[in-house]
Structure 1
Amino acid sequence: MDALVLLRLASARAEAQLGQGQSHSGTPPILAVPSTVISIGSNSLISNKRSLEKQNLLKIRAVERTVEPVYEPHDDSYLLAEAVDELVYGKVLDMGTGSGIQAVTAALKNDVREVTAVDISNDALRKADKRARSEGIRRKIKFIRSDLFNNISGKFDWIIFNPPYLPSEGEADELSWAGGKKGFEVIARFLGEAKRYLNEDGSILMVYSSLTNLDLTEYDYDVEIIRKKKLFFEELFVARLSHL
């Protein structure tokens, strides 16, 4: 069963247990949110309910990303993969490759010459390598262990990034989803370095969430939002970023 479904079931059980004075273990605590607002005219009650709902979603998304040591493809992955399949060509860098879905999607294209797949996690690189072999395109992909661009050289026509974008305190086991205390610190570092690795007419494809509170106009790129998808209490975006 999908991790998000399991977590929603766990949340429902936790709410029932909280009503009986019990505690729920096995997942991070999920706040019980009433399904109705007692007084529709009370802005504070509505605001508090929405705040609690957002906290619930952050907890669900966080656990969803850490059920396995490597982040498995979810809605954000598939939304980004659609753009990758439509747009990328030439020499491609998949930053934070995770399970390898973006690298493999790119490598399957005839107009993609080569793909470099990067991750800081050895588990991720092994999983991505296995995915590439299963698709018969391992020869087109080079795997590199690196913390962002630390071990990367050369320039690329396209750089793909499905970043960790949820707010966190940055514990070591949160690398697949923890974007920093505000959620965008990893993205900010990536965007600050990426230009040096992008060909003059190259572009970045990056997915992020409305939960990230990210303003891409602060990073000196030409920005185009090319895909959107509304989910539960967030919206996902795929941005294309190019040199100004």
Structure 2
Amino acid sequence: MNKDLQSIQADRPDIITTEIEAISFYRKMDTEATVKDMIAGKYVLVEEFYSNGLQVLKELRKNLLLKHTDKSFQGQREYRAAFREASHRLLLKVKDNKLTVKKGPDSGWLTLLYPDVFEFYVSFPDMQGMNSSWQWHEKGLEIKTLNLTLHPFYGTYFPTRFDHLKLFDKWLKKYNGEKNNAIDIGVGSGILTFQLIQNGFKNIFATDSNKNAIIGVAEESKRLRFEELITLSHGDLFENCDVKADLIVFNPPWLLAKYALEEGIDKAMYYEEDLFPRFFEQAQEHLAPDGKIVLIFSNLAQVVDKESPHPIIEELRNHNRFRKELHLTRDVRASSRRTKRRDSRENEKVELWVLVPKVKK
């Protein structure tokens, strides 16, 4: 495990540490008028009960949906942007790492992410996000392919469906190549890295552009006593990597971004147009002569839009770097047995691609 990880500071929601001019909102006040003030650019401070903030957000959605009736992608994007901007002017006060309102959630992230600040304001949506994240962190996420429960760190992507992990586990159990070195690009919550370790890999170099992912995997590795087997690096793709790997694994985002991405969890869900070309160009420099690349992907983009290009097929078609050794697919089950999915995801399949270097003539 890297010794310089202590210098990495977690990304955390922005807070206000100075006194501000804000409208105090109590339960019996005019919610509609309060929402109009927020949209106009004024701060609103939730007083008395946490649930008062939920009341304001409900009215805000109602107000904005009346104005944003366009159901197209662009229209819905504009609605979400308007909601985000206005809702982040709804504030909660934090003192001694606790909310000052009654019946509010008690999130441990207030202590862990802000150990040096004792009184501040945080937006209501950010508090909701921290509360949800803390519940997952405390409860843990059971990963059956690992027979382990992981505790995801704040701001780190973790799966809610596991078909792609089962597909990787099935392939990994049959893998009979060298197991000296592996590289996990976009380590996330660490699941693929831990699968590699449980299947006999001796050294894993794991990277992520999300600082919180690196912090989270470092903590989990220590708890699981895997830290001697993992080298973690905060950076883009193969940045700071000098390893020649027997296996490179990459579970990239599955959807092409149609707008500029923010750092962190946003980049775990959507990929920028140059991601795959950069990955394949760099991967060939870090792959051992007999090494393999395993990409875990999905046909979701093509299900939603038949004209959407498939980045792995595009690489094989347009470049002479790799050839396909194997392509496996698996149907994606609904997240609940009670769910009768009626949307486009009913035709989704997760994919596992194994690529090897082309032999140069």
TM-score, normalised via structure 1 length: 0.66
Q: Distance in 2 between matches of 1:85 and 1:161?
A: 17
Per-residue deviation, residues 202-243 of structure 1 (Å, max 9, x unmatched): 000101121163114234311133421123232211000101
Q: Which amino acid aligns with 2:171?
A: A
User: Is 1:171 the counterpart of 2:261 in the alignment?
Assistant: yes
Q: Contact 1:104 / 1:131 at 8 angstroms: preserved in 2?
A: no
Identify the match of residue 106 of structure 1 among 192, 196, 209.
196
User: What residue number does 1:123 align with?
Assistant: 212
User: What residue number does 2:10 align with?
Assistant: none
User: What residue number does 2:171 align with?
Assistant: 83
Identify the match of residue 229 of structure 1 among 325, 330, 339.
330
Query: Root-mean-square deviation (CA), in Å?
Result: 3.2
| Higher helix proportion (structure 1 or 2) | 1
- Using CA pairs below 8 Å that are at least 6 residues apart, which structure has the higher relative contact order? 1
Q: Which amino acid aligns with 2:325?
A: E
User: Is 1:71 the counterpart of 2:157 in the alignment?
Assistant: yes
Q: Which amino acid aligns with 2:221?
A: A
Q: Which amino acid aligns with 2:155?
A: P
TM-score, normalised via structure 2 length: 0.46
Q: Contact 2:172 / 2:199 at 8 angstroms: preserved in 1?
A: no
Q: Contact 1:163 / 1:186 at 8 angstroms: preserved in 2?
A: no
Q: Distance in 1 between matches of 2:64 and 2:170?
A: 38
Q: Post-superposition shift, 1:24?
A: 8.7
Q: Distance in 1 between matches of 2:63 and 2:347?
A: 25
User: What residue number does 1:241 align with?
Assistant: 355
Q: Contact 1:94 / 1:116 at 8 angstroms: preserved in 2?
A: yes
Q: Contact 2:295 / 2:353 at 8 angstroms: preserved in 1?
A: yes
Q: Contact 1:77 / 1:162 at 8 angstroms: preserved in 2?
A: no
User: Is 1:143 the counterpart of 2:232 in the alignment?
Assistant: yes
Q: Distance in 1 between matches of 2:251 and 2:212?
A: 17
Identify the match of residue 292 of structure 2 among 203, 206, 226.
203
Give the number of aligned pairs.
Answer: 187
Q: Which amino acid aligns with 2:237?
A: L
TM-aligned CA distance change 1:199 to 1:171, over 3 Å: same
Per-residue deviation, residues 38-69 of structure 1 (Å, max 9, x unmatched): xxxxxxxxxxxxxx9xx9xxxxxxxxxxx862
Identify the match of residue 161 of structure 1 among 250, 269, 273.
250
SS in 1 for 2:284: helix
Q: Post-superposition shift, 1:78?
A: 4.0
SS in 2 for 1:172: coil
Q: Contact 1:117 / 1:144 at 8 angstroms: preserved in 2?
A: yes
- Aligned pairs (5 A) from 1:208-223: 208-210=297-299, 211=301, 213-214=309-310, 215=313, 216-217=315-316, 218-220=318-320, 221-223=322-324
TM-aligned CA distance change 1:224 to 1:148, over 3 Å: same
TM-aligned CA distance change 1:23 to 1:101, over 3 Å: farther
Per-residue deviation, residues 98-133 of structure 1 (Å, max 9, x unmatched): 0011111111233x2211111111100111123323
Q: Distance in 1 between matches of 2:165 and 2:157?
A: 10
- Structure number with greater Rg is 2
Q: Which amino acid aligns with 2:241?
A: I
Identical amino acids, percent of aligned pairs: 20
Q: Post-superposition shift, 1:84?
A: 3.5
SS in 2 for 1:159: strand
Q: Contact 1:228 / 1:235 at 8 angstroms: preserved in 2?
A: yes
Q: Post-superposition shift, 1:81?
A: 4.0
Q: Distance in 2 between matches of 1:81 and 1:129?
A: 22
User: What residue number does 1:13 align with?
Assistant: none
User: What residue number does 1:48 align with?
Assistant: none
Q: Contact 1:207 / 1:236 at 8 angstroms: preserved in 2?
A: yes
SS in 2 for 1:102: helix
Q: Which amino acid aligns with 1:72?
A: F
